[in-house]
Chains A and B, each alone.
Chain A
Amino acid sequence: MNILETHDLTKTFGGLTAVEDVSFGVRRDSISGLIGPNGAGKTTVFNLITGIYKVTAGQVVFDGKPIHNVDPHKIAQAGITRTFQNIRLFKRLSVYNNILTACHGLAGYSVADSTFGTRRYREQEEQLKREASRLMDVMGLAEWRDKQAVSLPYGVQRRLEIARALAVRPRLLLLDEPAAGMNPDETRQLMTLISRIRDEFGCTILVIEHRMDLIMGICENIVVLNFGRKLTEGSPRTIQSDPQVIQAYLGEGVNAGA
């Protein structure tokens, strides 16, 4: 069964069509990939799913409910969250506070509760802090706890962004080029991490990635976009040998160039 489906998803900016009639499904508990050459519209699809962009036409259905044109924070509360291609951490906050902030949804105390320091406030705040610490341990961030996010090494920043996303307890996690800027060793670690997250946190994962080794290594299903349209969809094996995909990546040169 699919946890997420898009139906004829279309987005235009002024006269420019970034995404056109894209339909695909993401199977529950799977790790799926979204690939395509630069400018194929991958990040735009993420922005449409997470509500950052309004949909021009078509639908996004999450868990059987349409969610397109719903406010981003409501989509997050419904269980979809993401990371960003160009890392968007709460830069000047510590690692701990980045995660603690994102845990907010687990508490429900009011402004009055915090003002008067009621039991509700103290208990829930305690719970948030425990959860933040736990996430830090699980994601191997404990040693960086009080470091400012912006001062972290690149790879750690990416990991922190994933940890922060997990604090929302998502059922669907969207990762936008999580391996960008990582060396092969870090990329291998990331692959293990992604699989582990799926198993331990019980969430479905959709990844945009350029690193074919990563995509082919962990994804069960891959959707290929080209020029804003869906080119094809299938298992890593079929995608790898699909002549259309090869051509899209290598360009027109394969036919016309020689």
Chain B
Amino acid sequence: MAQFLQQMINGLSIGSVYALMAVGYSLVYSIMSFSNFAHGGVIMLGSYFGFYLLTLAHWAFPAAFVGAALCSAGLAVIVERVAYRPLRLRNAPFLYFIISAMGASIFLENFVVATIGPTFRTYPTVLPRAPIEIGSVYIGRLDIMIFIISAVCLALLVYFLDRTKVGKAVQATAHNARAAKLMGINTDLVITLVFAIGGLLAGVAGVMFGMKYTVYPQMGGITIKSFIAAVFGGLGSLPGAVIGSLILGIMETLISGYFSSQFRDLISFTLLIAVLVFRPMGLMGKATEEKA
């Protein structure tokens, strides 16, 4: 039982990081209807930003954290400007966006390999390694911090989207970009904003991911899991992305805890396929019949 509880908490912690990343995929999808595969690259660089702000610039941890998030936001906006905006302007089909995203992701990953190098780097210790003991359950301090920070970020996001005027403009654009434009919403600005938000969360997620594991150029590939979570929850749905992420996180830790970690990824992809086949709109999405 104690082991189970511990796994659950681990799962929630990793699931909440997935959620931060998945929300980035979902936000972009809700507005532009394509899967932004460059997001993984932004997360990876976010992790590097945090790493260097801590080790080279010797910033305090909270400052490095915010710094990494801001840098990632800037990077995400640049990616949008360079790789997507020209396509958007001529109404290119979604697949060009996906290819362009793949190009951006190859570029970012190999740019890091070429400049920084392919080695794995370990974050300096920020929190004491000793776990907190509650009864017979041991909880890592890092896991708790990750969970809390993720929850706060997501709460801020929900507040922003639901309570502020700008947030409502984002929602309106997601609902119907053309109508939103006609109503006087600057959809260009909304898109920039959405990428900035996705980037911010990517930076936060990247730093926490780096702290829990390591930093390396290919870590963007792991974020494909968060993409699965976004699909699982229903692409374009924020609550879906969060719930999908938590379920995936818990499932993964339980599977690697009780079976083997070899199995873990296979199960994730099987889940992806099963969702697409049986409920392509995901847990929270709505079914639609194509209009003629």
CA distance A68 to B292 in the complex (A): 17
CA distance A5 to B292 in the complex (A): 22
Is A116 an interface residue when CB atoms closer than 8 A count as contact?
no
Is B133 an interface residue when CB atoms closer than 8 A count as contact?
no
CA distance A53 to B292 in the complex (A): 9
Query: What is the interface of chain B mostly: helix, strand, loop, or mixed?
Result: loop
CA distance A84 to B289 in the complex (A): 17
Within 8 A of A (CB), among B272-292: 289-290, 292
Number of B positions contacting A (CB below 8 A) = 3
Nearest-Cβ distance from residue B276 to partner chain A, whole angstroms? 21
Q: Which residues of A contact B290 (CB under 8 A)?
A: 52
Nearest-Cβ distance from residue A74 to partner chain B, whole angstroms? 17
Number of A positions contacting B (CB below 8 A) = 7
CA distance A47 to B292 in the complex (A): 7
Specify the chain A residue showing the minimal Cβ separation from B290.
A52
Q: Which residues of B contact A43 (CB under 8 A)?
A: 292
Q: Which residues of B contact A53 (CB under 8 A)?
A: 289, 292
- Chain A window 20-44, contacts with chain B (Cβ cutoff 8 Å), 1 for yes, 0 for no: 0000000000000000000000010
Specify the chain A residue showing the minimal Cβ separation from B288.
A13
CA distance A13 to B289 in the complex (A): 8
Within 8 A of A (CB), among B237-292: 289-290, 292
CA distance A13 to B290 in the complex (A): 11
- Chain A window 78-116, contacts with chain B (Cβ cutoff 8 Å), 1 for yes, 0 for no: 000000100000000000000000000000000000000
Nearest-Cβ distance from residue B90 to partner chain A, whole angstroms? 14
Nearest-Cβ distance from residue B53 to partner chain A, whole angstroms? 50
CA distance A43 to B290 in the complex (A): 13
Q: Which residues of B contact A84 (CB under 8 A)?
A: 292
Specify the chain B residue showing the minimal Cβ separation from A13.
B289
Specify the chain A residue showing the minimal Cβ separation from B286.
A14
- Chain A window 42-83, contacts with chain B (Cβ cutoff 8 Å), 1 for yes, 0 for no: 010011000011000000000000000000000000000000
CA distance A53 to B290 in the complex (A): 9
Nearest-Cβ distance from residue B91 to partner chain A, whole angstroms? 13
Q: Which residues of A contact B289 (CB under 8 A)?
A: 13, 53
CA distance A74 to B260 in the complex (A): 49
Nearest-Cβ distance from residue A124 to partner chain B, whole angstroms? 31
Nearest-Cβ distance from residue A232 to partner chain B, whole angstroms? 26
CA distance A52 to B291 in the complex (A): 9
Nearest-Cβ distance from residue A184 to partner chain B, whole angstroms? 28
| 9 A-B pairs whose Cβ atoms sit less than 8 Å apart in the complex | A13-B289, A43-B292, A46-B292, A47-B292, A52-B290, A52-B292, A53-B289, A53-B292, A84-B292
Q: Contacts A43-B292, A46-B292 given; 7 further ones with Cβ under 8 A?
A: A13-B289, A47-B292, A52-B290, A52-B292, A53-B289, A53-B292, A84-B292
Interfacial residues, chain A to chain B (CB-CB below 8 A): 13, 43, 46-47, 52-53, 84
Interfacial residues, chain B to chain A (CB-CB below 8 A): 289-290, 292
